[in-house]
Chain A
Amino acid sequence: MAWLVATDGKLSGRRYSLDAPCLVGRGPYNHVVLDDTRISRQHAKISPEAGGHVVYDLNSANGTYVNHMQVRRQKLAPGDQIRFGPFSFRFETELQEETRRVAAGGRQKFVEVATLVGTEARIVESLDAKAASKPGFSTGLDELEDAGRKLQALYAFMQSIASTLDPAGLYDRILAHVLNVFVGADNAVLYLPSSDSGKMEPRKLLGRSGASIAPYPIPDSFYDQLVVDRRALLSSPVTAISAAASRGDATPTGISMHAPMLSGDAVQGVLHVQAATTVDPAFTQGDLDLLTGIAAQAALALQNVRLHQESLKQQRLKQDLSLAVEIQKSFLPQSLPVVQGLEFIAEYRPAFSVGGDFYDLFSLAEHELGICIGDVSGKGVSAALLMARVCSDIHAAALLEREPARTLWRANRMLCERRKTDLFVTAIYLALNTETHDIVLGNAGHLPPLIRRSSGKIDRVEGGASTAIGLFENAEYEQIRLRLEPGDSLVLCTDGVLEATSERGEQFGFERLEASILAGGARPQELVKRLNEDLSRHVGAAPQYDDMTLIVCGRQAT
């Protein structure tokens, strides 16, 4: 136990506990709030670390002083004088007797969980330090050691959390899944940053039924470290075992895995998986890898849930979000496939800051590409959100199903299952064999694709058409087979192109579209250039009302 004791001014005599990391500064969220302009908003931090306490200056304007010396990082000794701006403090520690008394009612955060004096988690091994993998023991995960199985476990996890949009339900699913996968684990705990301090706090604990193990407390500093390091860790309790034994308490035992839930740069939370066993290593390196993967997926799901909630809020406020623009962009492919003998062009122009159009080009297998284009009914944020969902639904469905008709069928089922609005989606999904140039295409209520033949005529592909996605859960889907001959170009667009309206109120329409594509020539780049010119000439100064998306896939003439 340690304290920071104020030695002068109006705070004189106040004692601040240093059992957990303690923030000092002018901001109201600090543990020690010093209201003075000479104090930075976040001035300094004092953390309990292995073997003692350390004070860190957090780039404060006026510095942190220990015994009159300015410091950036300084280990503290009992009786040290610490000064922040005009405020002076003394660092004090207490005897073990005192310690016990305080700990009994102390800072323990777990409900119904025993606290043990002096219990501390120690990092036993970290992911990258532990290069050699140990054989699996009690986890039953031996069969998961190969990558395929691991992917399966991850995929099952993705499936189970994909459709959850309420946070509490998601927490439960994450933890239940973790216990399912790690059969040697007795508890799984989800840590999330507290809304005011940002510190990792246990939010949800799930124990295996019948198991009586209490989780050992994890000091804040441990998770501070995890957040900084961004890598998964193993830990085990290091305890004043004799102290615990002398009081007749159970000795804390076990081993834990901790994985930060990373999405992009942000640490969304920490997954903590604990096993009671001490004899055998309950977790292997493979387990730690797998937990790392699960934590990453969980972070994405958590982010989705937050995004969803956030967006609902924003929708009510009728605000367009720049956030959604970013998110939306992230759903569109960042680059187009590069394939010998084929040329791809994709253009996307939302009418407002966010749109309901989407497209995607992705690899299905060697020599096989999946291409989709779609349009969500409605506009603005609600359409953009649905677009994000459908985009990933179709992608996921495409990886599960070989046939485009089945892909659309599955995407339709996924969308109908959780559809809460009147919104629906028109889409074309096709699989293109990049060697034979065969195309299998399904059209869910979307505009018919056009093929500009090298002969200089245009085929409007009316076949393979079925109902739009998200309307009827029992809808059947069809597909049609096509082939791109040398010099042919396939043109997919959304109705924003067709309905681009001139100042006189005239729509661009199929005839102009087809004439423009014919005039553009066989090279996709020239075709798109010509189409854009014709479109902007047609539209003139009239405002754009609808999103426009265009995908052209051309096969080189031989």
Chain B
Amino acid sequence: MFRFETSGRGDAAVLALFGNLDALSADALKAEVVRLSESKTNIATVVVDMSALELLDSTGVGVLISLFKRMRTKNGSALFAGLEAQPREIFRLLRLERSLDLVATVDEALAKSMPK
């Protein structure tokens, strides 16, 4: 099973993922990714909370990368928080930590995204 929850904090959105994000569930998330990263929204940062994500496959990775790229295109950012277990392993294997912002917790991500 897969589900997600989106909540707003200022100009940041927190996208929390639960369960298995794979080829079967990625389409549902894709629509949300498109919505969050549309240029007309005033969301500057999306923090993806992955602490409750149990399984992530390559299709799921594709959707998360597209969020990262779309946010960058509109001069915003996407951060990935709370990676554990298998999702952490696939991020490591794909060497994504080089290009993505990985943080331990959502709070840390929000602190990081605040204007200094």
Contacts and interface: CB of A to CB of B under 8 A. Distances in A.
Q: Do A and B bind each other?
A: yes
A422 B95 contact: no
A497 to B, nearest CB: 14
B12 interface: no
A461 to B, nearest CB: 13
Contact of A423 (B62, B95, B98): B62
Interface string B63-86: 101100000000000000000000
Contacts of B93: 426, 445-447
Contacts of B98: 466-467, 475
Given A378-B58, A422-B66, A467 B23 contact: no
Interface string B19-30: 000010010001
A152 B58 CA distance: 39
Given A377-B58, A378-B58, A445 B94 contact: yes
A424 to B, nearest CB: 6
Nearest to A446: B93
A16 interface: no
A466 to B, nearest CB: 6
B55 to A, nearest CB: 11
A471 B91 CA distance: 12
Which of A421, A467, A475 has its CB near the most chain B CB atoms (within 10 A)?
A467
Interface string A290-323: 0000000000000000000000000000000000
Given A424-B65, A471-B65, A378 B95 contact: no
Interface string B96-109: 10110000000000
A472 interface: yes
Given A447-B93, A466-B98, 6 more contacts: A378-B62, A422-B59, A426-B94, A467-B94, A468-B95, A471-B99
B61 interface: yes
A422 B95 CA distance: 17
Chief secondary structure at chain A's binding surface = loop
A178 interface: no
A468 B61 CA distance: 11
A51 B17 CA distance: 79
Interface string A452-492: 00000000000001111001100100000000000000000
Contacts of B61: 377, 424
A379 interface: yes
Contacts of A468: 94-96
24 contacts: A377-B58, A377-B59, A378-B23, A422-B30, A422-B63, A422-B65, A422-B66, A423-B62, A424-B61, A424-B62, A424-B65, A426-B93, A426-B94, A445-B93, A445-B94, A446-B93, A447-B93, A467-B98, A467-B99, A468-B95, A471-B65, A472-B99, A475-B98, A475-B99
- Name the residue among A377, A378, A379, A466 with the largest chain B CB count within 10 angstroms: A377
A466 B99 CA distance: 11
Contact of B95 (A375, A445, A447): A445
Interface string B26-65: 1000100000000000000000000000000111011101
Given A424-B62, A426-B94, A471-B65, A379 B99 contact: no
Contacts of B99: 467, 471-472, 475
A421 B30 CA distance: 11
Interface string A348-390: 0000000000000000000000000001011100000000000
B95 A466 contact: yes
Nearest to B94: A445
Nearest to B96: A467
Contacts of A466: 95, 98
Contacts of B30: 422
A445 B94 CA distance: 4
Contacts of A375: 58
A485 B65 CA distance: 40
A465 B95 contact: yes
A426 B62 CA distance: 12
A463 B95 CA distance: 12
A409 B60 CA distance: 24
